[in-house]
Structure 1
Amino acid sequence: MNNAVLTIMCLLPILAMTNMLFNQTHFLMTLLSLEGITLSLVLFVPLMLMGAHAPNTAMAVILLTFGACEASIGLGLMVSMSRSYGNDMLKSLTSSKC
């Protein structure tokens, strides 16, 4: 049982990064994928540090802090993007308005 949980925990960051690569049409989906990466790292890094017998409480708090900052900055960018362009499509950022 413990080996299966460890395997799933090791695959979560890889699955979240793969999800981010394939869901790049909407800005909200990209932000959700980034949150998935952050949350999987919050679970993955302390688990690996525990296996190495290193103290891990500070690292989990630091990762959660960065995750909260990333979420607030991303939400602010998405709100300003939807007000400026009218949608959250990432393709609307690169198209030229002639």
Structure 2
Amino acid sequence: MSMVSLLGVGVIGVVLGCICLVSQRKSLFGVLLSMEIFTLGIYAVIISVFWVLGELGSLCLVFLTFGVCEAALGLSVLVSLVRGVGGDYVGGLTSGHF
């Protein structure tokens, strides 16, 4: 797989992640999934750019670490929301059920 095609896949992932993030209005789980698509797309772009430049620095690992931390925090918020409210719908938050 050439790095140009990996760059294209990364750009498509970023665009799809943005579209999904903007279109999600009901479920927090859908927002978290779209953020993960966005993060993986950016990671693919970073990998392909550093591969073309000839040096794979530690920036890729640092970005991947931040992506994993973001996913863990999002999952913990989702679990606490489901336990507290009973669902992951954003509409339940705005009506003052907390």
Category of TM-score, reference length = shorter chain: 0.7 to 0.9
Go from structure 1 to structure 2 and tell me whether the alpha carbon gap of 1:92 and 1:47 turns closer, same or farther (over 3 Å shift).
same
User: How many residue pairs were aligned?
Assistant: 96
Q: CA deviation at 1:15?
A: 1.4
Q: CA deviation at 1:4?
A: 6.9
TM-score (norm 1): 0.83
5+ long unaligned stretches in structure 2: none
Question: Residues 1-98 of structure 1 correspond to what in structure 2 (within 5 A)?
Answer: 5=5, 6-51=7-52, 53=53, 55-97=55-97
5+ long unaligned stretches in structure 1: none
Identity %: 27
Matched letter for residue 57 of structure 1: G
Work out whether residues 42 and 60 of structure 1, in 8 Å CA contact, stay in contact via their aligned partners in 2: yes
TM-score (norm 2): 0.83
CA RMSD of aligned residues (A): 2.1
Matched letter for residue 51 of structure 2: M
